[in-house]
Amino acid sequence: MSGQLNYWRLARDGEDIAWLTFDRAGESVNTLSSAAMRELGEVLDMLDAAPPRGLVIQSGKASGFIAGADIAEFGQVSDVAGARALVERGWALFNRLAGVAYPTCALVRGFCVGGGTELALACRSIVAVDEPGTRFSLPEVMLGIVPGWGGMLRLPQRIGLPAAFDMMLTGRALDAKRARKLGLVDDVAPARLMREHARACLLSGRPRRALPLLQRLLSGPLRGVVARKAAEGVARRVSRMHYPAPYAIIEIVRDFGGNAQALPDAHPASMASLVSHPTTANLQRVYHLRERLRAIGKDVDTGGGTLPPVRRVHVIGAGVMGGDIAAWCALRGLTVTLQDQGIERIAPAMQRVAKAFARKFRQDRKAVRAALDRLIPDPTGAGVAGADLVIEAIYENLDAKQSLLRDVELRAKPDALFATNTSSLRVEDIAAGLQRPERLVGIHFFNPVDRMMLVEVVRGAASADDAVRRAAAFVAALDKLPLPVASSPGFLVNAALGPYMLEAMKCVDEGVPSEVVDRAALDFGMVMGPIELVDTVGLDIAIAAGARLTAGAAAPACLLRHAAAGQLGRKTGRGFYEWKDGRPVRAPLSAVPEGLGRRLVEPLVAVTRRCVELGVVADADLADAGLIFGAGFAPCTGGPLHYDSCNTATDGKTT
């Protein structure tokens, strides 16, 4: 039987349980191509002819279960017929799987994404392997589409409508334990016993855990109320003009029972409407840009090759950035020593980290303790001697950074890599006092470290190729996106953000309210408004960075006025906005002037183009990736240079 299959392996054990293994030949991950799904249908034909006692579906890939649909095939869908065929393919197949007479179980180890999660939901039970990489997600909204293969129908049935909306509207992933708590997963098993757990779950005959009464009400009679609340939350983040997919998910669940096939093609929530929307193509572009950045660091051999791996990190500077960098490294399994001038300066960072780890791991005290044990306070800097990587994250002063690194060089291992987290100074200037300046690179994290995926890997004039490659591999190992840039004032992201924020504050000086400026940017598709961004960064930092990056140009009057009054933004509770509970308090919104959004982004586009021309970044695609993932430039446009060349986006007003 299995000899006839190219994508799946089918075998039966002594208990007449069928084990179906998905293993695409020549691929590192499993994706649900049209050929793979057609072959799955053939497998179901075989099993219909000779029904097993039960069926377990598992992956033959060490990397994970299923990475969703084949993105290359999806990118070729551009018309109504193709969109309808795409939905029909998965909807019919997974309905067939859900309706077989014998019990079925999805045994999930590693990532389970998109169509993979929808396939698992079509099984009667799901067993998840208790490993950090086991995660379930429905991220279709991030590609401008909807989970059309049954996810919108079956996920609310398993975990309730509010939690289902949260997953589908954000693309947020659930780990195995959280999935078990919500009811998405029926059992969590250790890897060594996963087959036994799958077999037991398959043969137990236990019915699926019923939703609590409140969840049944929210998913049934009160579905309209839940949908309205979800729509209100989406509207606060994005407009339908630029991001129709989350609105489509809500409407398909509310009005069509989660069946994407039930919509007429002309309906704005239909798959046909979504695939023809410019945002969908642009979000696919963003996906490919993200994958390109990931490949930059993951293609580097640091295990058995010429580059030694980074296992021990020493961070100097326990402020917000240094403390958070150290915390993220420890969270990702590295041993970290954190240095500052006395334990009293390190203590606040350790307290902040402890709270963050407790939130991250919730009730898992063992995981919290393990992560905290990897982060070691080090006021004397003893950790320098054993570190594979030393990261300098002190204040932006050239003399101080040079002096610090000269001392580090005397005590560090000969093969240790040095990095500076500077945001505006040139790497070669910082390296000027080193005996071996080729060891120093820039590794520029963005604030907040735990949420910002992009990290600029900065090549100084003397930086060795291996040092840059090793830094990129380190960033990738942290599950961040490395962007190689040349040493230049502000590098790429800050160089482009400065003129953008400056233009926004010029508008405020001209009498445009802060709320209107930010609304114009959000209507354009930006992730955050520029005035809120200034408040988040800090007005004092904005003034200092502006002086370095604009050759002494006069700062906006509104910026100087707030700073003189001690109103430095979020950290002081007041800046352009008053801040309460970590959020800006906004005045009622007045009309947004036509064209304001375009005016705001034009300086950013111009600087980004100049950075490509000057070789700060290698090409326009990488520049777009940097501004999307490092500055929140409107993903719906495909990036600033793509937007500029295609001229498809508008400054639009919310409709």
- Quote the tokens at residue 508: 């405020």
State the catalytic residue, choosing from 137, 423, 424, 514.
423
Give the burial class of 571: count Cβ atoms within 10 A of its Cβ; 0-12 exposed, 13-18 middle, 19 or more buried.
middle
User: Which residue matches tokens 């309730």?
Assistant: 160
Which DSSP helix (H) or strand (E) runs through 190?
none
- Quote the tokens at residue 290: 């993200």
Residue 8: CB atoms within 10 A of its CB come to 20
List the alpha helices (DSSP H) in 151-301: 151-159, 161-170, 176-182, 194-203, 213-219, 223-237, 244-256, 271-275, 278-298
State the catalytic residue, choosing from 140, 392, 409, 456.
456
End-to-end CA distance of the chain: give it in Å, rounded: 56
| CB distance 470 to 297 below 8 Å | no
State the catalytic residue, choosing from 277, 314, 444, 642.
444
Catalytic: 423?
A: yes
| CB distance 405 to 440 below 8 Å | yes
- Quote the tokens at residue 387: 């570190």
- Quote the tokens at residue 270: 């239909």
Give the burial class of 624: count Cβ atoms within 10 A of its Cβ; 0-12 exposed, 13-18 middle, 19 or more buried.
buried
Work out whether the CA dihedral 305, 307, 313, 319 comes out positive or negative.
negative
Dihedral angle of Cα 394, 397, 400, 405, to the nearest 10 degrees: 60
DSSP state of 392: E
Q: Max alpha carbon distance in the chain (Å)?
A: 80
Query: Phi-psi bin for 50: left (phi > 0), alpha (psi -120 to 50), beta?
Result: beta
State the catalytic residue, choosing from 421, 494, 503, 642.
494
Catalytic: 73?
A: no
In whole angstroms, give the CA distance from residue 96 to residue 58. Answer: 18
Beta bridge partners of 579: 584
Catalytic: 288?
A: no
In whole angstroms, give the CA distance from residue 424 to residue 410. Answer: 26
DSSP state of 4: G
Catalytic: 647?
A: no
In whole angstroms, give the CA distance from residue 392 to residue 338. Answer: 10
| CB distance 248 to 268 below 8 Å | yes
Q: Which residues are catalytic, by number?
A: 423, 444, 456, 494
